[in-house]
Amino acid sequence: MDVTDRLPIPESSIRYDGWRIVAVCFLLATFGWGLGFYGQSVYVAELHRLRGWPTSLISSGTTLFYLSGAVMVAFVAEAIKAFGPRNCLIAGTLAMAAASVVMGQVREPWQLYLANLVLAAGWAGTSLGIITNTLGLWFDTKRGMAISLALNGASFGGIAGAPLLVAGIGHFGFPTAMTVAAAGMVALMVPVILIFVGKPPALVHAGVAAGQPAQSPTQIRTGALRDFRFLSVSGAFALVLFAQVGFIVHLIAFLDSVIGRGRAAIAVALLTAMAVVGRVLFSFVIDRMNQRLASALSFVSQAAALVIVINVRNEAALMAACALFGFSVGNLITLPALIVQREFDPRAFGVLISLITAINQVTYAFGPGVVGLLRDASGSYALPFYVCIGVELTAAVLIMTRGNLRTVN
């Protein structure tokens, strides 16, 4: 046997097993975002139509989904360490499928809240926290590319997943469509996970001092919340996601009166598609970039796009602004992981990413509500969108303020 046959396959090789995990995580993200994140807008509309409940009541279930999901996602790293990535991915798949079935059977408000609690468990097991933690077990030098490519499934969940769900509801009805979606997820994901997700390799991380003891998850979280470097990352992305989600949720309502509902839907689709383009293009260079600077430029680009959206009524210019905004947001869910990988102990990666994800989710859960309140109070979207601009620019300054660069475990 040739000695090269016994050498480990590098991450840059297409033969490396980690790229199969990327494909699995892409599929998982498609279902996770399609049924979890983007599905929420579908559930609000359908339950309002079927049950006649106030939008505020149904939206309160969505808020419960985000807040309870944030608590669960904070402990994803411990779950993977205790049970292994394969078992956790299967558990997330089954929880999301069960939640989809329950959501389709909702008849009473208490059932809505129960469905959203189960959905939150599914979201924690199919979204950003578990995907970045899982890929972190297989990738070190190509982690940025791996996460970027896998999370294109999130955008695909919005581009294809949500429209397919709406079409299914129109054809089968809400309860049956949700059951079919759940069955399809289980039938595809469980075999794929069982076949392709095995034991992760033993990665050798650079930058870990010899003999330096690893800290417990509680010690890591406590230390991080006292470390300005960590707070500058988590705070900046929490602010920018608050503004981003608040803006996107209200985008169709804003553009409806300017260019019409049909063209507004095209603008949102363009925004989502450009997020994919931005994520794919940057995946090839993102591991080598100054990731804090890239984040700041992304935040400023989003603010510039918002300025155009507020002040211009030309359809072509509005489409271009939506495209710019989408291109800029493409790597927002990738960059925090890369900054953490570069600046902190690699052994703390999973816990820190789960903590950042939880903080972000708690914050952006209130974005749409705050934008809506400011719109109602002022009579237009100008004030809330200018507030979003201010938040974006504040985040750009914060992400470039690293403080003391001492090594933190």
Residue-wise pLDDT for 278-316, tens only, equals: 877 777 777 677 889 989 999 999 999 999 988 988 889
Q: Specify the higher pLDDT residue, 91 or 273.
A: 91
Q: Domain ranges in the chain?
A: 14-196, 217-399
Q: pLDDT class for 161, splitting at 50, 70, 90?
A: confident
Rounded average pLDDT over 380-409: 81
Q: Which two tokens stand for residue 347?
A: 């052994």
Distance (Å, whole) CA 36 – CA 43: 10
Pick 366 or 188 by higher pLDDT: 188
- Does the pLDDT at position 11 exceed 80? no
Number of H helices, E strands in the chain: 20, 0
CATH fold match for the domains 14-196 and 217-399: yes
Structure tokens of 405? Answer: 């660069």
Q: Outline where 125-227 has alpha helix (H).
A: 128-138, 143-150, 152-156, 162-172, 174-196, 217-224
Please name which of 321, 330, 332 lies closest in space to residue 267, comparing C-alpha atoms: 321
**CATH superfamily ID and name for 217-399:** MFS general substrate transporter like domains (1.20.1250.20)
In the numeric block, the tokens 């509902």 are attached to: 261
Fold of 14-196: Growth Hormone; Chain: A; (1.20.1250)
Assigned token pair, 88: 């956790």
How high is the mean pLDDT of the chain?
84
Tens digits of per-residue pLDDT, 254-269? 777 788 767 777 887 7
Between CA 45 and CA 201 the distance in angstroms is 45
Q: Does residue 394 surpass a pLDDT of 90?
A: yes
Residue 378 identity = S
Would you tell me the crossing angle of helices 55-73 and 109-124 to the nearest 10 degrees?
Answer: 30
The predicted-structure confidence for 102-139, as pLDDT tens digits, reads as follows 999 999 999 999 999 999 999 999 988 899 889 988 98
Q: For residues 138 and 55, what is the distance between their CA atoms, to the nearest angstrom? A: 43
User: Of 30, 43, 270, whose CA–CA distance to 161 is shortest?
Assistant: 30
Does residue 405 have a pLDDT over 60? no
| Each residue's pLDDT tens digit, 12-69 | 777 788 899 999 999 999 999 989 888 887 887 788 888 888 777 887 888 888 889 8
Q: Is the pLDDT of residue 235 over 60?
A: yes
Q: What percent of the chain has pLDDT over 70?
A: 92
Count how many Cα atoms sit within 13 Å of the Cα of residue 119 in the half-sphere of its side chain.
Answer: 32
Given this model, what pLDDT does residue 209 score? 47
Q: Is the pLDDT of residue 163 over 60?
A: yes
- pTM of the full structure: 0.80
In 10 A of CB 168, how many CB atoms? 18
Q: Which of 20, 397, 396 is nearest to 196 (CA)?
A: 20
- Which has the closest alpha carbon to 47: 86, 105, 133, 88? 105
Q: Is the pLDDT of residue 409 over 60?
A: no
**pLDDT tier, 144 (very low <50, low <70, confident <90, very high otherwise):** confident
Distance of CA 318 to the CA centre of its chain: 25
